[in-house]
Copies of this chain bind each other. A is one copy, B any other.
Amino acid sequence: MSKRTAFFLSDQTGVTAETLGHSLLTQFDAQEIRQVTLPFIDSEDKARAAVSKINKAGADEALRPIVFSTLVQPEFRDIIRQANGLYLDIFDVFLEPLEAELQQLSTHESGRAHGMSDINAYMKRIEATNFALANDDGGISRNYEMADVILVGVSRSGKTPTCLYLALQYGVYAANYPLTEEEFEAGLLPDFLIQQKHKLFGLTIAPERLKHIRKERRPLGRYSSAQQVRYELRESEKIFKKYGIPSVDTTEFSIEEIASRILDSTGVDRRVRP
C-alpha cells in the first residue's frame, strides 16, 4: 500500500490538531500514514510554506494528503484551504453551533489554547511536578499529607511516569512508594502509608510484561526472573486486598489511560486543565 501524509496545522503548538487527527486516524486500520506537524503558522509566509509542503507531499506520494487544521485566523485559513488536500477543520464545523448556543461571537484570536492564559496554571503544574520528583520512589520528602494520591506497586509497574503525567497534565500531587521485600515479608504497609490509606492506589501488571520491562533495565539476575516477578506481583496484590486499596492493571494501558483511570476511580480533581 502506498503511503499518504497527514499534516497537523496550527498557529500554536499543534497539540490539538495532533490529538484530534490521531483519534480519527486510529479508526482506519492498515493505512500507512506519515504524520507531520506544522506548528506556529502565524504569518502569511508560513501559511504559504505549509501549502507548498502539503502539495509536494501529494505530488510525491500521488495521494492527496489529509490536513487537520486548528488555525484560527481567517486570512491564514483561506491560504491553507488552497492546498490540494482533504481539509478538516474543527473551527469550521464547531464554532458556529457554539456561537449560537453561547450567544456570543468567537474571538478568532490565536494563542488561546495551550497558552499562558493563566500563570497560575503554569505554577501549579510546576509545583506538582516538583512534588512528584521529591516524592518519587518513596524518596526524600515523604510529604504525603500534601499528596492527592499515592501510587503503590512493585518496581517498574509504571508508578513514576504516571505520577509525572498526573503532575504535568493535571497539576495533581502524586507521590509513589515502591513495594519491596520489606513489605512482602511483613505482609504489612509502613505506618506512614496506613495513615494515608484513603489516598493509596495500586498499580499491577501482567508477569510476562513486567519481566520484559525489567529485562530492558537489567537483563540478568533475579530482578527480571519469572519467579521473582510472579512472587512480587502476587504479594503486592495480597497487600492491595488486605488494605482494600483500589488498583489498576497497567498491562494494556498507555500512561494517559492509567492516569485517567486513577482520576476516575479516586475522584481526585484536576487542578489544571491542559
A contact residues vs B (CB 8 Å cutoff): 4, 12-16, 18-20, 22-31, 35, 37, 39-40, 64, 66, 70, 72, 86, 88, 90-91, 93-95, 97-98, 101-102, 104, 106-109, 112-117, 121-123, 125-127, 129-130, 133, 136, 158, 160-161, 164-165, 168, 213, 216, 251-257, 259-261, 263-264, 270, 273-274
Q: Can you show 5 pairs from A to B with CB atoms below 8 A apart?
A: A22-B113, A22-B273, A26-B113, A37-B270, A122-B255
Task: Report how many copies the assembly holds.
Answer: 2
Bound CA span A26–B112, Å: 6
B125 touches A13 (CB 8 A): no
Query: Which B residues touch A70, using CB under 8 A?
Result: 23
A22 touches B274 (CB 8 A): yes
Query: Which B residues touch A274, using CB under 8 A?
Result: 18-19, 22, 256
Query: Which B residues touch A252, using CB under 8 A?
Result: 115-116
A19 touches B22 (CB 8 A): no
Bound CA span A98–B104, Å: 31
Query: Which B residues touch A18, using CB under 8 A?
Result: 273-274
A24 touches B90 (CB 8 A): yes
Nearest chain-B residue to A13 (Cβ)? B260
Q: A18-B274, A101-B66 are in contact. Are A95 and B27 (CB under 8 A)?
A: yes
Query: Which B residues touch A98, using CB under 8 A?
Result: 24-25, 27-28, 66, 86, 88
Nearest chain-B residue to A253 (Cβ)? B116
A127 touches B216 (CB 8 A): yes
Query: Which B residues touch A117, using CB under 8 A?
Result: 26
Query: Which B residues touch A88, using CB under 8 A?
Result: 94, 97-98
